[in-house]
Structure 1
Amino acid sequence: MYTINEVAGICDLSAHTLRFYDKEGLLPNISRSKSGNRQFSETDLEFVKMICCLKNTGMPIKEIKHYVNLYREGEETFDTRKEMMKAHRKEVIRQIDDLKKSLNIIDLKITKSLI
Structure 2
Amino acid sequence: MEWLNLVLEKFAKQTGAGQSKTILLVMDRAGWHRSERVVVPSGIYVEYLPLYSPELQPVERLWSLADKPLVNKSFDKIQDLEAVLEERCQILSTTLTEPIKNLTNYYWWPNNCSPREG
Name whichever structure is richer in helix by fraction.
Answer: 1
When the two structures are superposed, what TM-score results if normalisation uses the length of structure 2? 0.31
When the two structures are superposed, what TM-score results if normalisation uses the length of structure 1? 0.32
- CA radius of gyration, larger in: 1
